[in-house]
Amino acid sequence: MAAGELLPLVVAVPLLGSAVLVAAGRRLTRIAADALGAAFAAGTVALCVFALIGVLEGPAVAWAGGWRPKDGLGVGIALVGDPLGVGLAALASVVTVAAFVYSWRYLEEPPPRHAGGFPALLLLFQAGMCGFTLTGDLFNAFVFFELMSVVAYALTGYRVEEPRPLQGALAFGIVNSLGGYCMLLGIALLYARTGELGMAQIGRALGTGEPDALVLAAFVLVMTGLLIKAAAVPFHFWLPDAHAVAPTPVCMVLSGVMVELGVYGAARVYWTVFAGPGGVSHSSCTRTLLVIGVATAVLGAAMCWQQRHLKRLLAFSTIGHVGLFLIGVAVLTPEGVSGTALYVLGHAGAKAALFACVGILLARYGSVDEYELYGRGRELRLVGVLFGVGALALAGVPPFGTGLGKAVAEEAAGQQAPWLPAVFVLVSAVTGGAVLRAGLRVFGGAGPRPPAEKADGEPETSGAEEEPETGDRLGRVPGTMLAVPVALLAGALAVGVLPGFAAAVGAAGDHFADHTGYLGTVLGSGSALSHVSASPHWTAAGVVLDLVSTALAIGCAALAVWRPGRTGHPGASGWWTPIRRMQSGHIGDYVAWALAGVALLAVLTVPGMLL
């Protein structure tokens, strides 16, 4: 089978799997339902890998329903398998399989006759993510965007017997639905202008003429939807609330892949739809994404450092890294894209592994509070080692994929502005340092014992007295729950060291950032790659900066744990408190910020475009 023909199957197989699970779910035991779900998910991984091997030579296109355009005009939907899109579908599928294996012995026994529900939802999530990465049609991208959103709301609120998961899922649902509406409104504007819904077709129509207010509004609205999904500042508030309460296997997928798909979508839509002369100029797009990216990175890292609730800590570190990914794609070069892609791959492994470790703590001690868990993790030596390795990987220690991706993205960003690499170093150091600090306290019992009770007026939840998601507290940690973080970290390592891997990602970046090449591939007018950049590789400067951020992370963590005379937390008195209080949990606040964010995007994009 040609690679193109495999693309629709990547979406169809998990969909079929979820339908089978729902139909048979009432008769299946939990083990049978989980095994069936995992088999469908793993089968999709295999399809992704076969498709990926096929498209490494060059992108493949599949027209759903066989509606190939005639003379460049058509009525159908294209699935476009470029190496980066198929690669992300593969990543989403692999992390879904990891979530399946992890939840094997993890989640509480489902009520009788409901064993199929959770695995079916996970498969639908996988199908939504794969469809979103593979589609070459803007409206179709919106459909899959909504599919993954709807499933994610339900999965986030899975532990419905407690109030907090419901609140987190509600905030997630409302803010992301708002993003969906914005995106749909933007698509409607583009359709009104061009009469097309395909990304390549709209890109072709915007390839001539001058940009006007309609194009600006469409760009701002579509980007809003995608940046809300990516949890970029000031659209980020939903993410910590949702990630703190979602079941751990779901967090692995949310933080490891789904949020990053927002960044992918923003970059994809810009390169295919808006990169022509009638679209949005490179400088306008770079300015917008760069400002948002730097704000996201700095705020995420700073908030990450303040947390003691381990899941919230990891959630804010994801925001910090999303900021870095946005900076990587904002420079609008193939090098920036491939660096970010490597970074995303490494980050997915490290972050999902860290969530897996926190899940073990939650299952065993019924708490995710850094202070309350002080020293209690000493008995879990292997988990402690994994947690520490994950923290260092997050800080970008060579030779992990995060380090390679960070080095390549940072060099590409340095071409844009010489101070940008400093943002990469600081943000990865602070987020890695925060995780390391928590690891030293929980697994090493390092430093003085922090006060377990909450300081007066401390704005956030501490994570003490959580309900274990396993139903009862675990005595012995099941092998599957240990194997998953080991495999994920090995994957993050492989991204950095596997020979030929970085070169393949580099070629993927070239294809991704090739506006005319994409249009040519989809519309059938030839597709010679217009620009071949040097393969990403380890450089001396990159390794040095990675080591600097790792050393800084270790330094931060050591200082926080051992600094004499400092036992506790900044508490309520720190200068940072007003910003911490912005994360209020009040959905009205989040909506107000989102709307202000739309306006901010417009204000950032408009100079040099219309004014």
Partner 1 sequence: MSRPVRLWVFLVGAVLVAALYAWACFDLPSFGGDHHPYGDRAVRTALAQHTANAVSSVNFDQRAFDTLGEQTILFAAVLGTVVLLRQVRGERRTDPTPAPVADRVRWFGVLMLPVALVVGFYVVAHGPLSPGGGFQGGIVLATALHLLYIAADYRALERIRPVGLYEVGDAVGEAAYVVTGLAAVLAGSAFLANVVPHGTFNTLSSGGTVAVLNIAVGMEVACGIIVLLARFLDQAVEIEETAEETGAR
195-234: contacts with partner 1 (CB under 8 A): 195-197, 212-214, 216-218, 220
Which residue from 51, 80, 95, 154 is in contact with partner 1, where contact means CB under 8 A?
154
User: What kind and span of H or E run contains 80?
Assistant: strand 78-81
Give φ, ψ of 15 to 5 degrees: -65, -45
**Region near partner 1 per CB under 8 A, out of 157-165, 280-288, 352-360, 416-424:** 157-165
Smallest distance, partner 1 to C-beta of residue 572, A: 17
**Region near partner 1 per CB under 8 A, out of 184-192, 272-280, 413-421, 503-511:** 184-192
Smallest distance, partner 1 to C-beta of residue 307, A: 20
Closest Cα to residue 560, out of 439, 391, 460?
439
Query: What pairs with residue 60 in β-bridges?
Result: 81
DSSP sequence for 94-131 = HHHHHHHHHHTTTSPPPPTT-TTHHHHHHHHHHHHHHH
End-to-end CA distance of the chain: 51
Q: Return the amino acid letter for 493.
A: L
**Region near partner 1 per CB under 8 A, out of 154-162, 270-278, 326-334, 406-414:** 154-162
Q: What's the token pair of residue 420?
A: 């940008």
Smallest distance, partner 1 to C-beta of residue 470, A: 13
> Which one, 268 or 437, has the nearer CB to partner 1?
268
> Which one, 44 or 402, has the nearer CB to partner 1?
44
Q: Is 285 in the site for partner 1 (CB under 8 A)?
A: no
Smallest distance, partner 1 to C-beta of residue 579, A: 12
> What is the chain's alpha carbon radius of gyration, rounded to the nearest angstrom?
23
Which residue from 56, 143, 174, 385 is in contact with partner 1, where contact means CB under 8 A?
143
Give φ, ψ of 156 to 5 degrees: -65, -40
Smallest distance, partner 1 to C-beta of residue 345, A: 26
Residues 560-599 that bind partner 1 (CB under 8 A): 582, 584, 586, 588-589, 591-599
Q: Is 274 in the site for partner 1 (CB under 8 A)?
A: no
Smallest distance, partner 1 to C-beta of residue 265, A: 15
> Which one, 5 or 379, has the nearer CB to partner 1?
5
Angle CA 311–315–321, to nearest 5: 145
# residues contacting partner 1 (CB under 8 A): 86
> Which one, 177 or 533, has the nearer CB to partner 1?
177
**Region near partner 1 per CB under 8 A, out of 185-193, 239-247, 502-510, 540-548:** 185-193
x/- contact string, 59-98, with partner 1 (CB under 8 A)?
---xxxxxx-----xxxxx-x-------------------
Smallest distance, partner 1 to C-beta of residue 174, A: 14
Residues 463-492 that bind partner 1 (CB under 8 A): none
Smallest distance, partner 1 to C-beta of residue 47, A: 13
Closest Cα to residue 292, out of 199, 186, 203, 220?
220
Question: 583 — alpha (psi -120 to 50), left (phi > 0) or beta?
Answer: beta
Give φ, ψ of 453 to 5 degrees: -75, 155
Cβ atoms 199, 255 nearer than 8 A: no
> Which one, 10 or 302, has the nearer CB to partner 1?
10
Give me the sign of the Cα torsion angle 13, 21, 353, 180.
Answer: positive
**Region near partner 1 per CB under 8 A, out of 2-10, 89-97, 305-313, 424-432:** 2-10
Which residue from 29, 72, 114, 531 is in contact with partner 1, where contact means CB under 8 A?
114
**Region near partner 1 per CB under 8 A, out of 127-135, 316-324, 406-414, 445-453:** 127-135
Smallest distance, partner 1 to C-beta of residue 58, A: 20
> Which one, 165 or 485, has the nearer CB to partner 1?
165
Smallest distance, partner 1 to C-beta of residue 271, A: 22
Buried b / exposed e along 304-334 (16+ C-beta atoms within 10 A): bbbbbbbbbbbbbbbbbbbbbbbbbbbbbbb
Q: Is 30 in the site for partner 1 (CB under 8 A)?
A: no
Smallest distance, partner 1 to C-beta of residue 349, A: 27
Smallest distance, partner 1 to C-beta of residue 131, A: 6
Q: Is 120 in the site for partner 1 (CB under 8 A)?
A: yes
Cis peptide before 399 (omega within 30 of 0): yes
> Which one, 124 or 505, has the nearer CB to partner 1?
124
Residues 34-63 that bind partner 1 (CB under 8 A): 62-63
Q: What's the token pair of residue 290?
A: 């760069």
Residue with tokens 């048979």: 24
> Which one, 541 or 610, has the nearer CB to partner 1?
610
Buried b / exposed e along 476-509 (16+ C-beta atoms within 10 A): ebeeebbebbebbbebbbbbbeeeebbebbbbbb
- Residue 18 CB-density burial (10 A; 0-12 exposed, 13-18 middle, 19+ buried): buried
Separation CA 56–CA 87 (nearest Å): 10
> Which one, 65 or 500, has the nearer CB to partner 1?
65
Q: Is 170 in the site for partner 1 (CB under 8 A)?
A: no
* 436: Cα separation from own chain's centroid: 21
Q: Is 135 helix (H, G, I), strand (E, B) or coil?
A: strand
Question: 82 — alpha (psi -120 to 50), left (phi > 0) or beta?
Answer: beta
> Which one, 280 or 548, has the nearer CB to partner 1?
280
> Which one, 142 or 264, has the nearer CB to partner 1?
142
Q: Hey, how many other C-beta atoms are within 10 angstroms of the C-beta on 161?
A: 9
Q: What's the token pair of residue 56?
A: 């490494």
Angle CA 221–222–224, to nearest 5: 65
